[in-house]
């Protein structure tokens, strides 16, 4: 009897342990699958049904996919896209495949560089997937179909991370997802408009620097894309291949839109990514009033500043937008926007005020306002370009090339001059705002053979100057100093930083790198001479219009500490 009880208990124990083991397997296998099922973003079921997928072919120097085509005849990538939503997206993807692969490889390479731990990367992915699981809900159906075509048309090089469609959707929300990062690479844009008596001919002129400190390919491979969406307004967008949304654009009705990043205290978990919002505006708006109304229709995830303008009326407007606020400032004269809101409802917003005073927005706004007042009455396309290329501070203070307080900090991914009255847009060939600006007549691009493209705007003489050559070598030396520091080669790092300062004596960035390295040496050696050198370097840094207040505060603190210890 006893032995039977023991045997029965043993069988029960084995079954219990087996059940627990099966349960654990199901838990670890089933939970991820359940999470993926709950958070995956899928394309519309009807996407591409019954539609042809034409192959690409090269004809007379242009690449065609169906009726859409791409070329580089004028030094810039130029894409002409048309068709139903899915076909337009598919053609876009097939035409741009080599560039899309390059961009995606870079983005994932950077992600693995900054987050080398697969565990940490998995946690970040899980968090983003969960938080953005409803991202597609706010996207209009035609845009969903277009994004589905774009995703289907390109190689799936990162399918082990996320499905192609979900990656494409996330790419179009990357601005919104990364907006809260302290050193966001998009918090440096400047734009302005002038019209009426402020210009030489009464036309509405617009200038815009899209300052995105991302990979060089976004500058060297910038594109102007001409969209002809089915049953909607055609428009031109200046961005890069693979961007179905809009960051800078002009439509056939003469309505201009662009976005500058903003930061405020209010947040949201639901809304339309801003690039897709501006796309919706350009496709539908025949006037500035319609543009403002369409923008207001959509909830947003993050705060931003929009510059809207109407070439028919000459009116421009800055829209200060957050998840809970929508303020409009209109102008028939001159108006400028950097990266902070200026209307009364944002006056007490701490995040907005910190952006104005701790980053570079306040300095660039003040300089833009100063230059628009100075040149008022004489502004034309070349006058706009002169402002976009301005490298000085308020009061014409010399800043040295690359200072982020300047309107032209030598970081623009694209820079444009627009005559909205004539539906003309000039796009800088690069690098940044330095090269020649190629002119495109939107009506000609859309088939009006009576129109001709305008003459290009001349390149900046700085492009071939000793100062610019030294600036580039300075940047290389700063990178070498960073590498040497990481390898604990402090003496070599200091030598490279000293070379950088010699190449760019007005560069606050170079002087700060040197000061920080000298500080490290002073704290390690306790040599009075080393402390004196660090002290002198920080004091010099404070005279060079430092762009970021946090660096100023740290320098001031270290100066106090060093001064107290120097005999």
Average pLDDT over residues 474-493: 96
Mean pLDDT to the nearest integer, 204-225: 91
pLDDT for 38 beyond 70: no
Segment 106-144, tens digit of pLDDT: 777 777 776 777 777 777 777 777 777 788 889 999 999
- b/e map 246-283, b = 16+ CB within 10 Å: bbbbbbbbbbbbbbbbbbbeeeeeebbbbbbbbbbbbb
Contact 207, 389 (CB under 8 A): no
CA-nearest of 564, 557, 565, 566 to 538 is 557
Report the pLDDT value the prediction gives residue 40, as an integer from 0 to 100: 73
Q: What is the pLDDT of residues 437-449, one digit of tens each?
A: 999 999 999 999 8
Given this structure, which CATH class describes domain 468-565? Answer: mainly alpha
DSSP secondary structure string for all residues of 286-320: SSHHHHHHHHHHS--SS-EEEEEEETTTTEEEEEE
Confidence at residue 5, expressed as pLDDT on a 0 to 100 scale: 46
Tokens found for residue 243: 């961007």
Does residue 408 sit in helix, strand or coil? coil
Per-residue pLDDT of 277-290, as tens digits, reads 999 999 999 999 99
Residue 229 is predicted with a pLDDT of 96
Mean pLDDT of 43-64: 90
> Model-level pTM?
0.91
pLDDT of 23 > 60? The answer is no
Cα–Cα distance, 18 to 30 (Å, whole number): 17
Q: What are phi and psi of 389, to 5 degrees?
A: -95, 10
Nearest in space to 262 (alpha carbons), one of 354, 331, 330, 363: 354
- The predicted-structure confidence for 414-429, as pLDDT tens digits, reads as follows 999 999 999 999 999 9
Q: Please state, in angstroms and as integers, the Cα–Cα distance from residue 62 to each residue in 78, 102, 219, following that order.
A: 10, 20, 22
Question: Any idea what DSSP says for residue 463?
Answer: G
Q: What angle do CA 543, 545, 546 make, to 5 degrees?
A: 100
- Provide the pLDDT for residue 14: 57
Token pair of 102, please? 């390059």
Q: Which CATH superfamily is domain 190-464 in?
A: Penicillin V Acylase; Chain A (3.60.60.10)
Q: Is the pLDDT assigned to residue 37 strictly greater than 80?
A: no
Domain limits of the chain? 56-171, 190-464, 468-565
- The mean pLDDT value for 226-246 works out to 96
pLDDT band of 183, cuts 50, 70, 90: low
Q: Among the listed ranges 123-132, 140-149, 254-263, 321-330, which one has the minimum average pLDDT value? A: 123-132
Q: Which two tokens stand for residue 36?
A: 């993926």
Of 291, 193, 549, residue with least CA distance to 404:
549
Q: What integer pLDDT is reported at residue 317 of this predicted model?
A: 98
The C-alpha R_g of the chain, in whole angstroms, comes to 27
> Taking all residues of the chain, what is their mean pLDDT, rounded to a whole number?
90
pLDDT, residue 9, reads 45
Residue 525 C-alpha from the chain's centroid: 42
């Amino acid at each position: 009897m006893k032995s039977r009880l023991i045997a029965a208990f043993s069988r029960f124990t084995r079954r219990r342990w087996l059940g627990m083991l099966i349960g654990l397997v199901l838990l670890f296998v089933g939970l991820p699958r359940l999470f993926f099922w709950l958070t995956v973003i899928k394309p519309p079921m009807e996407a591409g049904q019954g539609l042809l997928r034409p192959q690409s072919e090269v004809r007379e120097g242009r690449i065609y996919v169906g009726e859409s085509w791409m070329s580089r005849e004028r030094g810039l990538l130029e894409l002409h896209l048309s068709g139903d939503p899915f076909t337009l997206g598919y053609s876009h993807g097939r035409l741009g495949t080599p560039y899309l692969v390059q961009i995606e490889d870079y983005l994932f390479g950077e992600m693995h560089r900054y987050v080398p731990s697969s565990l940490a990367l998995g946690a970040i992915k899980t968090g983003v997937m969960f938080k953005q699981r409803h991202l597609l809900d706010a996207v209009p159906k035609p845009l969903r179909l277009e994004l589905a075509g774009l995703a289907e048309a390109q190689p799936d090089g990162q399918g082990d991370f996320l499905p192609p469609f979900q990656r494409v959707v996330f790419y179009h929300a990357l601005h919104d997802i990364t907006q809260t990062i302290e050193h966001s690479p998009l918090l440096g844009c400047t734009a302005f408009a002038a019209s009426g008596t402020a210009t030489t001919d009464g036309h509405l002129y617009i200038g815009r620097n899209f300052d995105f400190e991302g990979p060089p390919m976004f500058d060297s491979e910038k594109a102007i894309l001409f969209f002809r969406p089915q049953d909607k307004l055609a428009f031109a967008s200046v961005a890069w291949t693979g961007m179905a949304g809009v960051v800078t654009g002009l439509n056939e009705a003469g309505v201009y839109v662009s976005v500058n990043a903003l930061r405020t205290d209010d947040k949201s978990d639901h809304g339309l990514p801003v690039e897709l919002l501006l796309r919706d505006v350009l496709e539908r708006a025949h006037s500035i009033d319609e543009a403002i109304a369409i923008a207001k229709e959509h909830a947003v995830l993050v705060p931003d500043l929009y510059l809207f303008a109407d070439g028919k009326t000459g009116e421009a407007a800055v829209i200060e937008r957050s998840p809970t606020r929508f303020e409009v400032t209109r102008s028939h004269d001159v108006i400028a926007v950097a990266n902070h809101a200026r209307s009364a409802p944002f006056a007490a917003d701490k995040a907005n005020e910190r952006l104005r005073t701790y980053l570079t927005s306040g300095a660039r706004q003040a300089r833009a306002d100063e230059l628009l007042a100075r040149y008022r009455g004489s502004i034309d396309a070349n006058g706009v370009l002169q402002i976009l290329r301005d490298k000085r501070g308020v009061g014409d203070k010399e800043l040295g090339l690359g200072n982020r307080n300047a309107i032209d900090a030598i970081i623009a991914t694209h820079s444009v001059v627009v005559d909205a009255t004539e539906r003309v847009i000039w796009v800088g060939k690069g690098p940044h705002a330095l090269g020649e600006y190629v002119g495109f007549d939107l009506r000609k691009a859309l088939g009006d053979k009576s129109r001709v493209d305008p003459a290009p705007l001349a390149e900046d003489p700085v492009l071939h100057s000793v100062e610019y050559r030294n600036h580039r070598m300075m940047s290389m030396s700063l990178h070498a100093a960073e590498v040497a520091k990481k390898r604990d080669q402090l003496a070599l790092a200091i030598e490279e930083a000293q070379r950088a300062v010699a190449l760019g004596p007005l560069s606050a960035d170079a002087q700060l790198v040197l000061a920080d390295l000298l500080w490290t040496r002073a704290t390690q050696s306790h040599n009075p001479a080393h402390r004196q050198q660090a002290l002198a370097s920080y004091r010099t840094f404070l005279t060079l219009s430092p762009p970021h207040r946090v660096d100023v505060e740290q320098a001031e603190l270290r100066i106090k500490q060093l001064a107290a210890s120097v005999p």
